[in-house]
Structure 1
């Protein structure tokens, strides 16, 4: 199945953040929304729900849990018990509510900047204190978890680790060996790992996603995974995400969740997630093909027009972490990009102090829009 981005005139009729935050002369390559049309099975399921006036509260129903379990088994060889999956509104709620159960107020929670900006808010919301263990970078091998630094943080009293897998904004897919090492550390220090895996369905064909809970008994005893079809199928506004556990210990921890955490799940979110996991896999494959094609196009465009901007191709998702430091656009290049090129990017410093001089670009758009964006950026280079 071939998936193509919709034309700008049609996209600008959307009311989501991507198309309402800036005026029409700005190319919006910032927030993580794709420009592709909704998968037909998802659209059909939602339209059918409207026609039957199925707009009430969520009820007792495990179809989305079973659909996810089937997708996980087929995609990653990961066998998940649907009875150990619980839904809520979105990934942020999975993270915050899991941390609330795992820590006491004032406990330290490890994160790995540069990392998804809301992590810096979610940890305090759950009552925790952020403990930064930045990712390691090697010019030859790229980015990696600082396992020694994570151990020092646990040794120093950190009670939880908020893992981003795949890692946003880098598109980094952590290896099974790294994840096993994290699980071993969590077991040694009796800590909890909350693994945000929302970008997992968007892992590229040249990488292998490993679910954290799949790597070992230690991971299952000390881990909770956060999953949703929201990013993979571009349905973030429909509000459904899942707590996934694989042990009596972690399932027992979730029994302390208030009932309202689950009943706040969106009915349309459940319907859309089920249709995504069960019936929209061909659409996902087509979207990934388009994303990978744009990944290569961005590499070529930067090499030709902006060779000073350094960039490592991501292994997952459609987000590019661009290093503008050689251009001298300051700590936040997104300001210069917006004001001078009318291209909206996400500020690198939002992802931690390690993001100074960087910006994040969303390339899940048409090749023509991506080309125009790079040409605009190149035209304002000093």
Structure 2
């Protein structure tokens, strides 16, 4: 394995332009395919053989309108200060909003607050329960739009309307956690290496690997019904392991340069040694994630296999694209060696390093 990886690293280093072009072509092809994917992912959780699943299946068979495993939303109405919802004007407005919710796409039923006794004793607050025919992740944009319209219409009439439940789209939800994670990783890598290039390569290859994995999972919805959380878990795990795997090889490459090896030889040695650890670690994670399919729950199976695929892509990226990027970086990757090291570069590389502007993050002696 080490010999094969050594040759692969040197080949990718020499043929860096071809390797990069191939990866760009692969990403473009996957991206085009993902754009036309139906995206028929499902958020439904089915646990065959359990009593609860049998009860849900029975309810769906006998009372399909009940939507036992469907998403729900709670709409709370509050009357203006000093008024009651039971007044003729406010009651008519609430009933109008409830009727609008009943006509919403994917809705199986809405409880009327007045006929269901869902009005407070003071008469100032009431709420309606909205049941959907689909799971949380499958609630459509049109259904979310109706929720927003109901809030706007109610507030225009002087009522305070609040939404809750798993069928309500969280406006605060975003990719902020992933972005913060990438930023923290970038800061740590810059501090560790003292070089933007050395820190940027693991991040760049990790982002490309995650993009390839997530787009591939999206493309797979052409053929399979995947859990809606599959892409999220694949993104999180893929990003984490891709940065680690690339970091192993970059760190080893810099050490090999300091030991006096030519860049191409150093790249081959780095991939042959640290790359072997990357392959072993990646296979371990892949087997563990694939093991989720043994449980027999479709949602967990799709999540595990999607994440395992993301890890496999991270390994392949680290062994092929990263050596090619090291070839483009050249000796600039040796800028800003950590201060605690006292081992200088070999004489024949010192001139190349001195000719390159140093990073503002500091250098070592």
Fold agreement, TM-score > 0.5: no
Which structure: greater strand fraction? Answer: 1
Give the TM-score of the pair, scaled to structure 2: 0.23
Which structure: greater helix fraction? Answer: 2
